[in-house]
Structure 1
């Protein structure tokens, strides 16, 4: 009888194994899933899914170009962006004391054809375009054609409508003109293509704040209004893009098109957006900032309020403007001149133009420059001092953050990883950067085709910022050695 009970218990033990052995596979599965989720959340958005989850099937990305030996860590940071899946294709460049120290390209301009992102690639840079437009305005100020303190009505009398009679050029370049959007009802593409007709539409737009100069980011409209102003003061009635092309860019061996010649479309990189899940993660981070008080409590309500300046600025777009950011690289859009958003360039051209500013307006020569590069200064030192004048910190009612404007229409920027250094310039949607620092002698450009959705008031993102950090570290070290 005892043997039968023992046999029965053994049989039950075999059919009902200990609870611990049951639990182990479940815990292992949970651990594996947790690791996969962590990898997906922290890995860059542009690598193939199997690469993000398992580390297999990743792109075999090459980096090409030039780097000065002292700045090799900046090259490693650039390459890391591809290894981590943060970039598809990109170019980055930097000058230090007038010398090119970094000029790199990497990744792919087109994933469908696996075309490499090389030195011939051109890239739309969205609002980094505003830096070029501001430099053209400074160029006209330097010539005595424009004056920042003059009212716009001096050059464009019809602009006085709708409480805009006291708006100055200084207000317009610094997003305080009260025209961050235009009423696009009953406006056709033909109206927008007819610049004389379009000027009437622009002039009729009322001031958003009843004539009070408040900063509200003029995402698209800043360039449209500046273009009309420039057409009226230029003896040949040229646009900003025409003046830049004919008097600045070619003379200094730069490529920066505000209206791309159609035969160059094959050189333009294709854009790629992040996945919906990655966008949701970014939105979660914004929610955390809102919950912890870093973001004003009215931020989300203003996004939903159809009468708010914020909502109208981002939601009411003129018809030719693309509905998706990824469409911007298509022929229909790159050939249009939108001097706030539609510049097509590369990192080296942005960095070199910034280097000219750092060099007190004097031209920069490097090994790749053509023999006919202009020797005359772009801007006088006094004008550079003027446009670099720091204005009081202002809250932006569209970007919902505080910014320190520079008089010439740029901004003073501190990046999270190098907060002890201020740069002047601006950035573009998706992550492009166009900046310089005269004290350190640094100018920097970064352009890419992988679009990151920016935080509510962030300029650039961790990709460009990580490279810039390495450059600043080297320059600080070199400065210390010199002293």
Structure 2
């Protein structure tokens, strides 16, 4: 019996040592780091740099705009750890669900122009959408994940989005809400982009595709580089997407006793859970660990997850929103529409009983201690971009090494950068007055 216990102890200890070794295996890399920043915000930059040196960050960019001007624009680490290809100034990375927030701003531009109305039924712009119990779903209901369309009956090949869009429209038109629209909410993780991108194309006077709409209505006008679906000729600039090693998740769980990432993974893998069903809805199942490093997938526009940019461009975009909808290059949105975007439409626990989100009209109202700190959207594994209209700040963080899956907009490291920034901003504004 003693030998059995000893053997079990050695086995467990060996396993823990292996997990720890894998978790720390990138620690000794010589980390590149570069960028520019206002001296008053050196503490933010130092904190970001230290997290590369300690192995917390692997490859990422961080950018902050205030009153339409850049205060912090830094990047570091590796775009590909295996080849040690450095993260450079113009590096692009997949944004996952942070793409949803960018497209929500595009919808807001349409509302400002009178091409869409949040209160009108989606079927007003797309009559066939109203089939199968969807006639009462309004534009804002769809944008705030209240339409009951997170789970689909069957799937279709993702290539249809580019090659046969009419088949995509027909597939979406045939869907029946999973719950009565307007009575509950649940995150439309995959299907959001399918329905919203289709709505944009239907409402657009020129019937352009979502990627072209962004380029012509926002990108070219304001010098913001963002791609909904990455063109082949730009693939060389992307950071290689790397999911969090499971050993890292295990180690953090064992050392912190925080089981949320493991619970979330379990829900994702459970085909009977709402979360599990939603992640295999819409398009055919995508092999997450490999697909987002394959140009044939990355080139397809899909506003749920397939946007590409970096922190600089996202912070500039949200910085315009935070600055009253305008900067030196012009006006992007009216202040009236920005106020509408700040209004949350959901509260309380979602349909699965796990999530509490303040979804608005395509963006999330970021609320802490009962105070609105901004509007924006996070993305899988740590990506986030948001506008803090009260502090006139656009903030963005983008990484290629995806952190453990958890609920909430701000991961620990990103919240740290944000909080240090706010402290520095207070001193910065005092210095300007002096």
TM-score, normalisation: structure 2? 0.88
Question: Distance between the aligned counterparts of 1:110 and 1:454, measured in 2?
Answer: 21
Say which of 152, 155, 166 aligns to 2:125: 155
CA contact (8 A) 1:184 1:317 kept: yes
Partner of 1:468: 418
1:200 & 1:409 partners in 2: Cα distance? 23
Greater RCO between the two (CA within 8 Å, min separation 6)? Answer: 2
**Are 1:199 and 1:228, in contact at CA under 8 Å, matched by a contact in 2?**
yes
Quote the residue 1:431 is aligned against.
382
> Which one of the candidate residues 281, 286, 306 is aligned to 1:342?
306
Per the TM alignment, residue 462 of structure 1 is displaced from its structure 2 partner at its CA by: 2.1
Indicate conservation of the 8 Å contact 2:149/2:188, yes or no: yes
- Please say if residues 271 and 449 of structure 1, whose CA atoms lie closer than 8 Å, have aligned partners that are also in contact: yes
User: Could you tell me whether the CA contact under 8 Å between 1:360 and 1:380 is conserved in 2?
Assistant: yes
Residues 208 and 309 of structure 1 are in contact (CA less than 8 Å); yes or no, is this contact kept in structure 2? no
Q: Aligned residue for 2:338?
A: 384
Partner SS for 1:360: coil
- Structure with the greater alpha carbon radius of gyration: 1
Superposed displacement of residue 278, structure 1: 2.1
SS in structure 1 of the partner of residue 380 of structure 2: coil
Alignment match, 1:80 = 50
Q: Which moved more, 1:308-317 or 1:173-182?
A: 308-317
CA–CA separation in structure 1 for the residues paired with 2:265 and 2:16: 28
Q: Tell whether the 8 Å contact from 1:217 to 1:398 is kept in structure 2 after alignment.
A: no
After TM superposition, the structure 1 = structure 2 runs for residues 275-424 of structure 1, keeping only pairs within 5 Å, are 275-281=245-251, 288=259, 306-316=271-281, 318-319=283-284, 322-364=286-328, 375-397=329-351, 400-406=354-360, 408-414=361-367, 422-424=373-375
State the secondary structure of the residue aligned to 2:330: coil
Q: Greater shift after overlay, 189-198 or 279-288?
A: 279-288
Higher mean displacement: 174-183 or 123-132: 174-183
In structure 1, what is the equivalent of residue 3 of structure 2? none
SS at match of 1:105: strand
For residues 298-340 of structure 1, give each alpha carbon's deviation from its aligned partner in whole angstroms, at most 9, with x where no partner exists: x899767645432210234522x63124531321122100111
Once residues 114 and 408 of structure 2 are traced to their aligned partners in structure 1, the CA distance between those partners, rounded to angstroms, is 34
Q: Measure the CA separation in 1 of the matches of 2:67 and 2:260.
A: 38
Q: What is the correspondence of 1:101-250 to structure 2 with a 5 Å cutoff?
A: 101-185=71-155, 187-188=156-157, 191-192=160-161, 193-250=163-220
Contact 2:40 2:428 in 1 (8 A): no
Whole-angstrom CA distance in 2 between matches of 1:163 and 1:190: 27
Structure 1 CA distance for aligned equivalents of residues 157 and 242 of structure 2: 29
| CA distance 1:286–1:339, change in 2 (3 Å) | farther
Q: Which consecutive unaligned segments of at least 5 residues does structure 1 have?
A: 1-29, 52-57, 365-374
TM-score (norm. length: structure 1): 0.79
Distance change >3 Å, CA 420–CA 385, structure 1 → 2? closer
Q: 1:40 offset after TM fit, Å?
A: 6.8
Further displaced range: 422-431 or 188-197 = 188-197
After superposition, give the CA deviation of every residue in 1:127-185 in whole Å (9 maximum; x if it has no partner).
Answer: 00011100000000000010000011111111122221110001111111111132235
Q: What CA distance in whole angstroms lies between the structure 2 residues aligned with 1:204 and 1:308?
A: 23
CA–CA distance in 2 between the matches of 1:59 and 1:346? 23
**CA 392–260 in structure 1, closer or farther in 2 if over 3 Å, else same:** closer
Distance 1:250 1:459 in 2: 29
> Superposition RMSD on alpha carbons, in Å?
3.2
Deviation for aligned residue 1:361: 1.4
The Cα shift of 1:37 comes to: 6.1
Aligned mates of 2:312, 2:81 — CA distance in 1: 23
Instruction: Describe the SS at the equivalent of 2:233.
Output: helix
Greater mean alpha carbon deviation, residues 131-140 or residues 242-251: 242-251
Q: 1:215 to 1:479 in 2, by over 3 A?
A: farther
Counterpart position of 2:6? none
Describe the SS at the equivalent of 2:292. helix
Q: Indicate the SS of the match to 1:145.
A: coil
2:230 to 254, 260, 281: 260
CA distance in 1 between counterparts of 2:180 and 2:400 reads 39
- Report the Cα distance in structure 2 between the residues aligned to 1:207 and 1:286, rounded to whole angstroms: 38
Find the aligned partners of 1:475 and 1:307 in 2 and give their Cα distance: 47
Q: 1:207-238: CA deviations, max 9, x gaps?
A: 01033432110112111101111111112111
